[in-house]
């Protein structure tokens, strides 16, 4: 994959106006789910507009190591994946998962159920991101997953187990990806008898489960459900290729551009997501509306504009944890203190995002109260020039680019973003696209 060149920092000059249209890269959540479902299916699947990024690359490479054949159509982001119909050709592999939660969690479940001799590991931060709830759920029904480092965290050694039950339970208060992983692996366990999955306690990030169920359906597997509590996968369902499937634009990536339109007046339009999106992060626009922005939504586009300063917001962001980071930076432009609630999962993502966000917002002159699971941001009267550290977190780099907008930054000063190449996790071209709409100069 071609990676754009990034220096060790990028300086962003103040931009008073942002206007234009952005074609979004493919959704990370949809891309990695479709890749795995297509691999497990009977038949070949043509995937249109797959995201090109570190997270999808680790999934593609892992599938290749597992003997799944795929081709990229030259000069496009379209792929053909030749499904293995629930039987992986390779039973031994050492898989590098980078820092992709959407790769390691679902693959761990699928590999545990299919059985073999697999190790899964990632970057150092991946080894600090919890996976214990998923491993417990699988081992309790007879799978054999061991920790080779710290208990509860990757790296993992997956061996061949023996399915011993037809109902499983999983905790959902640390990450929804554990439930997603079990759901996607469930048809492999329910070949003869139905499989039931119960959620123990609270489930966070619920809209991501809707993405999972929607895509499983497109690959021929129906899940019966009782709200968010219990899920049933009837026996004898197996994944079937839908033939062709299209990846929507990434709604979390859309948040930066929509916020830019709302902060500066815009209009800024994103293309690739719209009215019928299956991604929960399109609900980011509800928060922007609450802040006073004008949002228009079409079939395959969303546009944000505003007239006048943004209003402060106090809201629960559990349903859109990724796009909520964009609100934290947009809050710098609001007419009073904003509070983002119920975002405790930020602590176990690419970095401890609550702590990182508080530290970096303070550098810009904001007053920030960091709670166990909330953030209160009081905007500064004028923004101070600052050097923003990004903690190898793509979203820290992307959302802090917004601090260069709307003339709140003193003229003649700059926002420096350190280590901008971390955006490659989900959006390698981010700063190029941002420059195009912000008419800024990259140094
Ligand atoms: O299932 C998914 O595609 C995702 C679920 C969310 O994680 P949690 O469920 O851990 O909050 C989200 O933050 C992540 O970027 C993608
Ligand atoms: C939390 C994120 O990623 P992951 O899929 O690795 O959990 C994210 O993209 O913000």
Residue 237 C-alpha from the chain's centroid:
28
Nearest CA residue ID for atom 4, ligand 2:
101
DSSP conformational letter for 42: B
Residues 237 and 305 in one domain: no
Point out which residues pair with 316 in neighbouring strands. 341
The pLDDT of 4-11, averaged and rounded, is 81
* pLDDT score of 383: 86
Residue 208 in contact with ligand 1 by CB distance below 6 A: yes
309 shares its domain with 400 = yes
The answer on 238 and 160 residing in a single domain is yes
Question: Residue 110 falls within a domain, yes or no?
Answer: yes
In the reported structure, the alpha carbon of residue 280 is separated from the centroid of ligand 1 by a whole-number distance in angstroms of 10
| pLDDT at residue 198, as a whole number | 98
224-264: per-residue pLDDT in tens? 999 999 999 999 999 999 999 999 999 999 999 999 999 99
Domain C-terminal end among 180, 215, 246: 246
Report the C-alpha gap between 41 and 220 in whole angstroms: 9
Whether residue 199 sits in one domain with residue 240: yes
Residue 107 lies in a domain: yes
| 3 occurs within a structural domain | no
**Which of these, 280, 281, 279, 305, lies nearest to 291 by C-alpha position?**
305
Query: In this model, does residue 167 exceed pLDDT 90?
Result: yes
Residue 114 exposed, middle or buried by CB count within 10 Å (0-12, 13-18, 19+): buried
Name the percent of the chain lying above pLDDT 90: 91
SS3 content of the chain, % helix, strand, coil (to 5): 35, 25, 40
* CATH code of the domain covering residue 78: 3.65.10.10
The model's confidence at residue 407, banded by pLDDT at 50, 70 and 90, is: low
Domain boundary pick from 226, 246, 266: 246
Is 2 a member of any domain? no
Domain membership flag for residue 354: yes
Distance (Å, whole) CA 87 – CA 39: 10
CB 241 within 8 A of CB 41: yes
Report whether pLDDT(16) > 80. Answer: no
Number of domains comprising the chain: 2
Whether 81 maps to a domain, the answer reads yes
Instruction: Note whether residue 1 is domain-resident.
Output: no
Which ligand is located closest to the Cα atom of residue 31? 1
Q: Is the shortest distance between the CB of 395 and ligand 2 below 6 Å?
A: yes
Q: What is the mean pLDDT of residues 169-191?
A: 96
Question: Range of 135's domain?
Answer: 28-246
Judged by DSSP in three states, 197 sits in strand
**16 contacts 237 by C-beta, under 8 angstroms:** no
User: What band does 14 get if pLDDT is binned at 50, 70 and 90?
Assistant: confident
ipTM of the complex model: 0.99
Active site residue 322: yes
Task: Say whether both 22 and 106 belong to one domain.
Answer: no
Cα 233 to Cα 241: distance, rounded to the nearest angstrom: 18
The predicted structure's pLDDT at residue 151: 98
H/E stretch holding 328 reads: helix 321-330
Please provide the average confidence, as pLDDT, over all residues in the chain.
95
Same domain? For 141 and 217 the reply is yes
Which residue, 69, 112, 84, is CA-closest to 239?
84
Tell whether ligand 2 has an atom less than 6 A from the beta carbon of residue 322.
yes
Residue 288 lies in a domain: yes
Please state the separation of Cα 240 from the chain's center in Å: 25
Quick check: 140 and 132 in contact, CB under 8 A? no
Q: What pLDDT sits at residue 335?
A: 96
Looking at the structure, do residues 357 and 333 belong to the same domain, yes or no?
yes
Shared-domain flag, residues 169 and 71: yes
Pocket test for ligand 2, best of 325, 347, 425 (most atoms within 8 A of CB): 425
Tell me which of 59, 101, 425 to substitute to probe ligand 2's pocket, judged by most ligand atoms within 8 Å of the beta carbon.
101
User: Which of 246, 263, 280 is the C-terminal boundary of a domain?
Assistant: 246
Instruction: Quick: pLDDT tens for 79-137.
Output: 999 999 999 999 999 999 999 999 999 999 999 999 999 999 999 999 999 999 999 99
Segment 337-374, tens digit of pLDDT: 999 999 999 999 999 999 999 999 999 999 999 999 99
Domain identity same for 254 and 398 = yes
Q: Which residues contact 76 (CB under 8 A, 6 or more apart)?
A: none
Same-domain pairing of 407 and 421: yes
- What is the 98 CA–ligand 2 centroid distance (Å)? 11
Confidence of residue 434 (pLDDT cuts 50, 70, 90): very high
Measured CA to CA, the distance from residue 353 to residue 351 in angstroms comes to 5
Q: How far is the CA of 110 from the centre of ligand 2 (A)?
A: 19
Q: How far apart are CA 232 and CA 225, in angstroms?
A: 6
Shared-domain flag, residues 279 and 353: yes
Q: Is the shortest distance between the CB of 102 and ligand 1 below 6 Å?
A: yes
Q: Is the distance from the beta carbon of residue 318 to the nearest atom of ligand 1 less than 6 Å?
A: no
Is 50 exceeded by the pLDDT of residue 443?
no
What integer pLDDT is reported at residue 442 of this predicted model? 42
pTM of the model: 0.97
Q: In this predicted model, which residue has the larger pLDDT, 15 or 228?
A: 228
- On whether both 325 and 219 belong to a single domain, the answer is no
Q: How close are the terminal C-alpha atoms of the chain, in Å?
A: 24
Query: Furthest-apart CA pair in the chain: how many Å?
Result: 69
The bound ligand whose nearest atom lies closest to the alpha carbon of 175 is 1
């Amino acid at each position: 994959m071609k990676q754009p060149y990034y220096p060790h920092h990028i300086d962003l000059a103040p931009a008073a106006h942002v206007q234009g249209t952005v074609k979004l890269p493919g959704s990370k959540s949809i891309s990695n789910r479709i890749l795995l479902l297509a691999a497990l299916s009977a038949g070949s699947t043509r995937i249109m507009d797959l995201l090109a990024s570190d997270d999808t690359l680790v999934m593609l490479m892992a599938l290749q190591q597992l003997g799944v054949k795929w081709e990229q159509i030259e000069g496009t982001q379209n792929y053909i994946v030749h499904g293995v119909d629930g039987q992986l050709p390779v039973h031994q592999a050492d898989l590098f998962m980078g820092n992709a939660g959407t790769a390691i969690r679902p693959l761990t479940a699928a590999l545990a159920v299919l059985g073999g001799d697999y190790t899964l590991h990632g970057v150092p931060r991946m080894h600090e991101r919890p996976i214990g709830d998923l491993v417990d759920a699988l081992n309790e029904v007879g799978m054999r997953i061991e920790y080779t480092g710290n208990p509860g965290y990757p790296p993992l050694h997956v061996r061949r187990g023996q399915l011993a039950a037809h109902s499983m339970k999983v905790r959902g208060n640390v990450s929804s990806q554990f439930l997603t992983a079990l759901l996607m692996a469930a048809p492999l366990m329910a070949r003869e008898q139905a499989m039931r999955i119960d959620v123990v306690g609270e489930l966070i990030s619920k809209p991501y489960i809707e993405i999972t169920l929607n895509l499983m359906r497109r690959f021929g597997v129906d899940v019966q459900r009782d709200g968010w509590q219990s899920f049933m996968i009837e026996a004898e369902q197996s994944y079937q290729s839908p033939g062709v499937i299209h990846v929507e634009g990434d709604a979390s990536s859309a948040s930066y551009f929509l916020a830019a339109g709302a902060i500066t007046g815009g209009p800024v339009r994103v293309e690739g997501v719209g009215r019928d999106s299956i991604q929960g992060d399109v609900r980011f626009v509800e928060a922007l509306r609450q802040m006073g922005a004008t949002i228009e939504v079409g079939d395959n586009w969303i546009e944000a504009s505003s007239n006048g300063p943004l209003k402060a917001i106090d809201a629960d962001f559990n349903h859109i944890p990724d796009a909520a980071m964009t609100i934290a930076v947009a809050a710098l432009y609001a007419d009073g203190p904003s509070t983002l609630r119920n975002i405790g999962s930020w602590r176990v993502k690419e970095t401890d995002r609550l702590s990182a966000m508080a530290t970096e917002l303070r550098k810009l002159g904001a007053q920030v109260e960091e709670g166990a699971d909330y953030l209160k941001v009081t905007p500064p009267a004028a923004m101070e020039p600052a050097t923003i550290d990004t903690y190898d977190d793509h979203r820290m780099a992307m959302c802090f680019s917004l601090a260069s907008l709307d003339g709140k930054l003193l003229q003649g000063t700059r926002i420096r973003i350190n280590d901008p190449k971390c955006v490659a996790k989900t959006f390698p071209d981010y700063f190029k696209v941002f420059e195009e709409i912000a008419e800024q100069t990259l140094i």
